[in-house]
Amino acid sequence: MALYTPELIWYILPVTAWLLLLVIVAMAFVVYRNNPQFSWPTLQRTVPSNPAVIFSLPYTIEGVREFLVKVKPFVQACELDSGIAARVALEELLYEIVESNTDRKANESFDVHIIDKKTAFTVVVKSKGPLQNPIYKYSNDNLMDIDDSDLRQAILSRVCKNINHKYMNGVNCIYLNFNRT
């Protein structure tokens, strides 16, 4: 008697398909158990990897006010430990950019990117123009020497401990970084 006959193929193919499906489902369950941010059995992400908002703002005080009203719910939903500090730093930075760029045309704008990651909350502000560094370094002994022109920059530097500035191709890129605990 032969071990293999041609008629057995109709039994082997469905059994093999069911075994393969069982292996795939088992692997998906193991991945889901090790990383619960994936849904089971599709392994799709349940949490967006980097929720972000991107806006273009005109160089006007009214534009900044409207933006701050729109973005406040998003910043609150991010549940930062330093939530009020992030809002104050963003507000001071935007007003500093608008007030220092008074020679802009009505149709010009600058970009604001707010990125919420698992370990950090980052605000990136990109404005075209000459070099403008908003980081104001001072010590606690020099608090009384800060004048009105440097007050916004001093508040910004005090509220946001991790602030970076880069100037590339005529664009000021300012990064406000807030770490999560």
Q: Are 133 and 166 in contact (CB under 8 A)?
A: no
CATH of 52-179, one of 3.30.565.10, 3.30.450.20, 3.90.1150.10, 3.40.1160.10: 3.30.565.10
Q: What is the pTM of this model?
A: 0.64
pLDDT tens by residue, 106-126: 788 899 998 888 788 888 999
Distance CA 21, CA 27 (A): 10
Distance CA 3, CA 99 (A): 87
Tokens of residue 12, six digits = 């082997």
Q: Given a cut of 80, is residue 68 above it in pLDDT?
A: yes
Find, among 84, 51, 76, the residue nearest to 155 by Cα: 84
Q: How far apart are the first and last CA of the chain?
A: 71
The pLDDT assigned to 60 comes to 86
**Angle formed at CA 179 by CA 124 and CA 38, multiple of 5 degrees:** 90
If one compares 117 and 81, the residue with the highest pLDDT of the two is: 117
The pLDDT assigned to 49 comes to 60
Beta bridge partners of 171: 128, 168
Q: Given a cut of 90, is residue 151 above it in pLDDT?
A: no
The pLDDT assigned to 66 comes to 92
Distance CA 80, CA 121 (A): 8
